[in-house]
Amino acid sequence: MTRVAVLISIAVGFVLTSVVANAQQPAQAPVVGVLMVFWGPNDYFLPSVRKGLSDFGYVDGRNIRIEYRSAQGQLDRLPRLARELTELGARVIVVGTAPAARAVAQASDTVPVVFSLYDVDPVASGLIESFGRPGRNMTGICTRQSELVGKRLELLKELLPQVSRVSVLWDASSQRQLGELESAARALGIQLERIELRPPYDFAAAFRTAKAKRSSAVVVLFSPAFIQLRTKFASAALESKLPTIHQDNVGVEAGGLMSYGPSSFKVLQRTGYYIDRLLKGEKAGDLPVEQATDFKLVVNLKTAKALGITIPESIVQRADEVIR
């Protein structure tokens, strides 16, 4: 073989090797950002989003990359964290609160937002134009908790027919629910005792206050802090011997007595549908916003036993889940 032929052979081999190597390299996985106000990466929010993505064939670290940021309860950190996610090239950003959604919108007018909102009307709050056609670079799913607080109070009345005084634990996240709860309490002849909590959230002190006010039970309103700190919350409730009713199942699984409302896990998993549609090229403004309509009653009989309470059979039979 002549020297020229050898050189040509080497050159061809190099080109073919480069082509094969490039063909074997997977395309860069799209980045999905997750921006939270309070929750940590190991709490149920992020695992639920991952589960929702897996339903559509996405696996973190394989064909998708999830970048997580939490403000750890400090709202003033949200704008910087939102910018971080957009600078990382996030194709979609998932949020769990209206402040986080606004922070992303301010950071970028091109990165779509998928929200999972609790007790927030996205139209009234200006996040979207309508449920059917959001019209802006946001879409997702929301739950209207204020409409369910009266039902939870009715369940407490069924559990404790003689109840006349109930404490309600709330913080800044749940202030708008108080009006609906007051109306329901008046209709049922129940006096409400408001107990506001603020950081660092001394649950033991809050339940001592409820006992001092001679409350027979506690209604727990929505709060990201209550959810993240639910184990401490449940321990304080058990120590006070006061039954509690929560907005969803996570509080009951931690040791609360009852809950009525949509499953947070199911709501968050639904974000996978929206992320999939957006990664495939659809526009957030064209994807209708969904409202959670599947409400579940969950009862914890272990907690009832620890409190010395007998749950009426009428409630147990209606329960969608009973923790024994």
pLDDT band at 299 (very low <50, low <70, confident <90, very high): very high
Rounded average pLDDT over 60-80: 94
- The reported pLDDT for the residue numbered 18 is 41
Domains and CATH numbers, the chain: 31-144+265-291 (3.40.50.2300), 146-262+295-323 (3.40.50.2300)
Which two three-digit tokens encode residue 90? Answer: 């996030």
Q: What pLDDT, on the 0 to 100 scale, is given for residue 88?
A: 96
Which of the two residues, 12 and 259, has the higher pLDDT score? 259
pTM: 0.84
β-strand 31-36 against 65-70: which pairing, if any?
parallel
Residue 276 vs residue 13, higher pLDDT: 276
Tell me: pLDDT of 26 over 80: no
The residue ranking higher by pLDDT, 62 or 146, is 62
Residue 311 pLDDT exceeds 90:
yes
Residue 225 in this model has a pLDDT that exceeds 70: yes
For residue 1, pLDDT beyond 60: no
Contact in structure between 117 and 94 (CB atoms under 8 Å)? no
- Give the three-state DSSP class for 266: helix
Tell me what pLDDT residue 148 has.
87
Q: Quote the pLDDT of residue 193.
A: 97
Residue 69: predicted pLDDT: 95
Whole-angstrom Cα distance, residue 136 to residue 156? 41
Radius of gyration of the chain (CA): 25
What are the C-alpha distances in Å from 73 to residues 35, 70, 141, 224, 228?
12, 8, 22, 9, 11
Residue 191 pLDDT > 80: yes
